[in-house]
Structure 1
Amino acid sequence: YDKVRVFSQDLTTLKCKKVSIALIQESHLKSTDVHRFQNKYFKVFFSSSAVNKSKGVLIVSKRNIVFSIKRSGNDTEGRITHVVVSLNNTKYAFMSLYAPIEGDSKFFQELLRLVVSLKDCLVVLGSDFNAVLDPQLDRSHKVPFRLKYLLILW
């Protein structure tokens, strides 16, 4: 299974870089396959997967990190997962996001509600927002969507 080999390389890189918690986007894993992104050093802490192998977000942590989980959640579309933990008497909210390419306002409204609910935490956000300030810089899409229009939705 070629993807397992790629995951193994990714996890080796995390270990070499001394990463404790990683926020992964575009995992392209079904919920039944999320466990494949683990090894003896790292575990998938929280995830969200789409029904098919598109999208997918993960929160991966070293196995030896000790913290108290306060709350967590995810969507069912493979775009948002988060966990609130207490570490050294401080509450952290780790969020991994993968925004729709077309700038879906429902996604950003849900994200805003989530962020507001985390006001008592230090938020650590890893994301692929799929938008740019200058569409001329992003030539990968036929229909450009400017980030400033998304920010207006907030």
Structure 2
Amino acid sequence: MNSSVKIISMNCHGLADPHKRRDVFHYLRKKSYSIYLLQDTHFDPKIENCIRAEWGYKCHFASYNSSSRGVAILFNNNFEFEVKRVYKDITGNYIFVTVKIMDKEFLIVSLYGPNRDNTEFYVELEERISEVGFENLIIGGDWNLVLDFTLDYYNYKHLNNTKAQEQVDNLMINFDLLDIWRELNPEKRRYTWRRNTPLQQSRLDFFLISDLLSTYVTDVDIEAGYRTDHSM
């Protein structure tokens, strides 16, 4: 069993097609991470048991339909853990899992933020996290916003979702969270989403973690995604 835990997040750009889904699952399993936070899964709730069998190990879903939204948390069998509780958003935008790892309990969230300036979503998210309670919080996903308009945007004419970004700032302050990639890369310009015509890039995908966990983090990186327009 691994002595470290490796967590990745990836916007899948839809996994409703069974051939793509099996191919992506095969790719992700070969990466040998511990926990996989997936967004924009497009899983139909009716076939979640089938998808669980395809993955081959424990997984939890907050699905919406086969053409939009949906998030999931998939576990590998290369480390010891115990899932305690699962909380699902009926709109398919986030899922919470409380899990015990190495005698510590964590609240892990896979999040798919609205692609609009929706402050109410993040107010609700904060309320739900407070209701669940946590000691060690890890939120990973596609937030559909950036935290630093100077460093996290490339070739944008307008700032997007500014009010929602302010609400995420409040979330970070209230829960004492860090943007761990930016913490370790204070001036670096790296992006997780891009389109070519015209060329635009932004760091929409990131992890927020409890400040007290930062001393345990040994590495944070942005890697190429697979069959998606987002990086991992």
Q: Please, what TM-score do these two structures have when normalized by structure 2?
A: 0.55
Hey, what's the Cα distance between the residues in 2 that align with 1:87 and 1:61?
A: 12
Question: Are 1:82 and 1:93, in contact at CA under 8 Å, matched by a contact in 2?
Answer: yes
TM-superposed deviation, 1:83: 0.8
Taking structure 1 as reference, are residues 58 and 44 closer, same or farther at Cα in structure 2, changes over 3 Å only? Answer: farther
Do 1:42 and 1:63's aligned partners in 2 also have CA atoms closer than 8 Å?
Answer: no
The equivalences for 1:1-80 within 5 A come to 3-39=17-53, 42-43=56-57, 45-51=59-65, 53-63=67-77, 65-80=79-94
2:154 aligns to what?
A: 137
C-alpha change, 1:71 and 1:115, in structure 2 (3 Å) is: same
CA distance in 1, matches of 2:169, 2:140: 21
* Uncovered stretches (5+) of structure 1, i.e. residues with no partner: none
Deviations 1:118-142 (A, max 9, x none): 5543222221111124396375xx8
Q: Figure out how many residues of one structure are paired with residues of the other and give that number.
A: 153
- Please list the CA deviations of residues 13-56 of structure 1 after superposition, one character each: whole Å capped at 9, or x if unmatched: 22221112100000011211334544566435211112463100
Contact persistence 2:117–2:160 (CA under 8 A): no
Q: So what's the TM-score if we normalise by structure 1?
A: 0.79
- The reply to whether residue 149 of structure 1 matches residue 163 of structure 2 is no
Counterpart amino acid of residue 145 in structure 1? N
Percent identical among aligned pairs is 20
